[in-house]
Amino acid sequence: MEKENGPETRIESPRAGGQKMKDERQLSLPANEGDPPLDLAPDSPQLVSRYLVGLLLLGSDQLAQGLGGAKQPEADVPPGEETSSDRLRHLAIGLLARGERDAGRSLRTIYHGSVGTASWTFRTLDRWTDNRLMRPFRRPIEVRVRRLGDQVAEIVEEGKREEQDSRVLAAESVQSVVENVVDQVAESEEVDRLIMELVGQKGVSYATSLVDNVRTLTATGDDTLEGVLRKLLRRMPRRALPPSPLEGQPQTMYASGNLVRGVADHD
């Protein structure tokens, strides 16, 4: 809202360590001086929630426009000032953003604290137990810890392989299904025949025949209905219609030559 009239600036997505993103994603957005840069990096923790909030706002704006036209200003608020509903909405969005950021910060603090505590504990234990007296007790623990580390490394490697295998498998499956469908359509005589009937000469002749049949039915229905009505009205049945001036004649009165001649006659 406030950014609409601000100077246009180029904002680069920040990256850890000051490195630019590989795809050099840059956005040209209007922004006010002093605003923090907009973080649009794909690994930004707030990217998804920003998208969701943005979509929600755009959707509600569209809905409000569709239902009630222009937004009615509040009576006691001068134009250009923030209304109470605007303030409430900004408060909700601010709480969401701050809550997410604070939660992320707390999680990072806990993680780093845990890692620091663990490494300090292990270093201290290492110093205290690295002597001739404690070495017999220490060795089985070292073996277990090393084995645990190896197992974790193995699991991580397996996860990497599984991820790659899953992608390859899914891609191959989709490719295989598509190829199968294409092959079946290409080889099936039934499908071929249906397509030919739909788009080929047969389809056209069926449509022509259908129209002709409808015309015949309604034309014969014309005679039948008149006969029934004459019976009901106790009139003599009609033997034949009087000949029309066009009976059996080709109807060329609207051919282009006649049309021009007809217009000239009329004028």
Q: Yes or no: say if 212 and 218 are a contact pair by the CB < 8 Å rule.
A: no
**Could you please report the per-residue DSSP string of 2-14?**
GGGGSPEEEEEPP
By CB under 8 A, the count of residues binding another protein is 38
Least separation in angstroms between residue 239's CB and another protein is 11
By CB under 8 A, the residues from 186 to 215 that bind another protein are 208-209, 211-215
**Does position 246 bind another protein by CB under 8 A?**
yes
Write down the H helix ranges in the chain.
47-68, 84-129, 135-187, 189-199, 201-232, 256-266
**Does position 173 bind another protein by CB under 8 A?**
no
One symbol per residue from 52 to 71: x for binding another protein (CB under 8 A), - otherwise; what is it?
-----------------xx-
Given the complex with another protein, which of 181 and 214 has the nearer CB atom? Answer: 214
SS3 251: coil
Q: Yes or no: say if 71 and 44 are a contact pair by the CB < 8 Å rule.
A: no
Out of 12, 39, 197, 226, name the contact with another protein by CB under 8 A. Answer: 226
- Reference 43, options 22, 60, 64, 62; nearest CA is 22
Residue range at the interface with another protein (CB under 8 A); choices 116-124, 130-138, 178-186, 243-251: 243-251
- 183's CB contacts (< 8 A; 6+ apart) are none
SS3 79: coil
In sign, the C-alpha dihedral spanning 24, 28, 34, 36 is negative
Least separation in angstroms between residue 221's CB and another protein is 4
Residue range at the interface with another protein (CB under 8 A); choices 16-24, 166-174, 175-183, 234-242: 234-242
Out of 177, 178, 259, 260, name the contact with another protein by CB under 8 A. Answer: 259
The residue ranges that bind another protein (CB under 8 A) are 69-70, 208-209, 211-223, 225-226, 229, 233, 238, 241-242, 244-251, 253-254, 258-259, 262, 266
